[in-house]
Amino acid sequence: MDIVNLIEEADTMGMSKTNKYYSQALSSMAGLKSGISLACEIRESNLDTHSNHDEKHADKLRSLTNMVDLLWYLAD
């Protein structure tokens, strides 16, 4: 099966394709599943907030936690 099919057939647990982690997760898992990758990296930027730290980090950490859940699900 090629990578395009792996990505198109992935169950994304209802994650919107507009989610900024969506393409990172699917391409990472497709690479791992196909055997062309041994590792992946999911990135989050702008964690150095300087102000409104608690408000800004709550959303970012929630998004990262949801991404980890999706990655574990896809890996299974």
In this prediction, residue 4 carries a pLDDT of 67
Domain count, the chain: 1
Is the pLDDT assigned to residue 69 strictly greater than 60?
A: yes
Write out the residue range of the structural domain in which residue 14 sits.
3-75
In this prediction, residue 12 carries a pLDDT of 66
Q: What is the pLDDT of residues 31-63, one digit of tens each?
A: 888 888 898 887 777 777 777 777 777 777 877
> What's the rounded Cα separation, in Å, for the pair 9 and 21?
17
Q: How many residues does the chain have?
A: 76
Residue with tokens 């990655």: 71
Structural Rg of the chain based on CA atoms: 14
Provide the whole-model pTM: 0.59
Q: Where are the alpha helices (DSSP H) in the chain?
A: 3-9, 22-34, 53-75
Tokens of 52: 């409104």
In this prediction, residue 73 carries a pLDDT of 76
> What's the rounded Cα separation, in Å, for the pair 4 and 46?
31
